[in-house]
Structure 1
Amino acid sequence: MNFALPTIILLLMLVPGFLFRRLYYSGEFSKEYFKQNFTDYLFPSLIFSILIHLFCQGLIRLFGYKISLWPLFLLIGSNGSSSETSVAFLQIYQNIYHIFFYFVFTAFGGAVLGYLGKYVVRNLKLDRKYQLFRYQNEWHYVFTGEILGFPNITGQYDVQPEVQYVDALVKTAEGSVLYSGYLSHYVLSSSNGIDQLYLSDVKRRYLKHDHRPENEDPYYYMPGDFTIIPYREIMNLNITYYRINQSPPEASAE
């Protein structure tokens, strides 16, 4: 028997687990899925695939149907020399349409369960309450203000803020510069840290100019739609959360 056939069957068996994890790690958490290597994919996908197959098998039996995966397991583990292999091929050939729809059903089930899993975790705020359910993109929790809902973080999270105002202290050749603006977007690095910050309505201030005449505005208002700041140049961040009916206080000229 060709070695490719058991490999194809095994991959088909793993599809539900892959789709579950792809839908569970979607949207703002998708980088957590794509940054993994094949080994990182394989073991969790195997576990979820087994659970999804068991769930689908139970669901099929609940509606009075039954499908045996034993012929497929025989082909995966067989060396092609036994009579059982021939019987397995015959059973697969006779039930090819049932097997095809079973794989479609389990793949669809894996995708739906992955989506529902994320929906439940996010809407019940399980990822904020329990470390077990928390996604690795911690910057999402920081920038959205959801971190205020963590049990070990002091603060109030009654209503999700709609605006994030960022003060970024940046080290430059001319000295430390404070950039202040609304957070528009951010890009994660391969290690799930921040690679770049996108700020809008930005103003900047050189800290070395703090000693200045009282009538001199220390801020320079940056033109353009965005200011992009590489995170490697940022010394620290200050984030303030606002609702739409709030706005950052006017900077003092002192």
Structure 2
Amino acid sequence: MDFNITFFTLVYIVFLIIPGVFFKRFYFQGHFNKQFQSGLYADRLITSVFWGAIIQVITIHILLHSTGDKFYSFSEVIKNAFLSISKNDLPNGGNQLFTFASLYLIGSVVLGGFLGHFSHQFIRKTKLDLQYAVLRFSNKWYYYFTGDILYTNEFKYKVSKTGKIASTVVDVLVDYGEGENILFTGTLTQYSLDSNGNLETLYLTGTSRFKKQDNGKIELKNIPGDCFVIPYQRVLNMNIDYVIETSSKEKKQGRMKRILLGLISAFLILLLPVIIVVPWFSQVGVWLKLSSIVLLLLSWLFFMVGFVNLVDPKAALKGKGIALAFVLFLILLLFGLSLLGIFDHVIELVF
């Protein structure tokens, strides 16, 4: 009995953790992939379990509404399996147990990856990580080297530069040893981080060096080559300068965009408690209430994506992409409200 309980407890823990791991793997992607493996093991385990539990609840609701009566037969199989374990017997669920376990694991893993990727894209496209520090990724160098740091609350009122950032120029003072320091300047093309997320290497193009002549004047001398590599451990200090493409029209659009995004963010933050709390006052069952909350939250996300891409002329989504976001928003909204029985009350009032 002890062996059986331990074995199936480990299996359940694996089922619980794996969806959370996939969620985090797809959420920390691109320039932020180092964050997936950073931090204390206990913290990573707890967050994986937390997101895994949420994904499991959503997966169960999807199975509940997609399989219908078959879900309840699956539930009986799982119940009988645990009763067998408690009696020192191996569970005998047959094909039903295998089918349910397969759907459950595959569905939760796919859903975890999708939600992780969608959450990453949503936060980056809407720039919510620039407005709220709690949503910011740990790779601070990405924000500095791309110029996104200018739009954070810490910098946007202190830096006068506005407009589209065309490139990033860095002045790097390097320790060459034996008391010799050399200042290089060039366009930052790429950079690399070590396993801990610390800056490891800088890659510059169009690089030049400042050289002091015998008469005391400073000469800027071009360095031949396509890519100049600087190990960060040799860097004494670094100055970052952004090359901005500005125009009066772009400044006005940028100002309006920030105002609209600020208003939308404030509205959505106020709307979230309503989405989570109001369904509990309906007369439907607990599972329908939870399912409705999940659908309304997803509709909230699609609305934000569609609206932000609609007002942003440089947005990634265009035309059909924006229309699809709004269509998904309406479908999920109507479906979520229908689970609460709101349309039934409307019909009763009208007729």
TM-score bracket, shorter-length normalisation: 0.7 to 0.9
Alpha carbon RMSD of aligned pairs, Å?
A: 3.0
Q: Secondary structure at the match of 1:30?
A: helix
CA shift in 2, pair 1:107/1:85, >3 Å: farther
Structure 1 window deviating more from structure 2 (219-228 vs 130-139): it is: 219-228
Aligned ranges for residues 139-154 of structure 1 at < 5 Å? Answer: 139-153=141-155, 154=158
- Give me the whole-angstrom Cα distance separating, in 2, the residues matched to 1:46 and 1:96: 23
The answer to whether the 8 A contact 1:146-1:160 is kept is no
TM-score, length basis structure 2:
0.60
Match of 2:118 among 98, 116, 136: 116
Moved over 4 A (4+): 2-5, 156-160
For the pair 1:167 / 2:168, whether they are aligned, the reply is no
Instruction: Report Cα offsets for 1:37-79 as digits up to 9, x if no partner.
Output: 643431110000001111222233344633549938x76xx9x
Q: Give the partner amino acid of 1:162.
A: A
Instruction: Report Cα offsets for 1:89-120 as digits up to 9, x if no partner.
Output: 22365321122012101100000000011111
Match of 2:209 among 204, 207, 220: 204
Q: Give the partner amino acid of 2:86.
A: S
Q: Give the partner amino acid of 1:168.
A: V
Aligned residues: 236
CA shift in 2, pair 1:5/1:61, >3 Å: closer
RCO comparison, higher one (Cα < 8 Å, 6+): 1
- Give me the whole-angstrom Cα distance separating, in 2, the residues matched to 1:54 and 1:84: 29
Q: Give the partner amino acid of 2:170.
A: V
The answer to whether the 8 A contact 2:173-2:237 is kept is yes
CA shift in 2, pair 1:41/1:56, >3 Å: same
Quote the residue 1:27 is aligned against.
30
Quote the residue 1:187 is aligned against.
192
Match of 2:78 among 71, 77, 81: 71
TM-score, length basis structure 1:
0.80
Quote the residue 2:233 is aligned against.
232
CA shift in 2, pair 1:63/1:81, >3 Å: closer
Q: Give the partner amino acid of 2:153.
A: P
- Report which of the two has the higher share of helix: 2
Aligned ranges for residues 22-61 of structure 1 at < 5 Å? Answer: 22-36=25-39, 38-61=41-64
- Give me the whole-angstrom Cα distance separating, in 1, the residues matched to 2:119 and 2:146: 21
Shift of 1:190: 3.3
The answer to whether the 8 A contact 2:26-2:117 is kept is yes
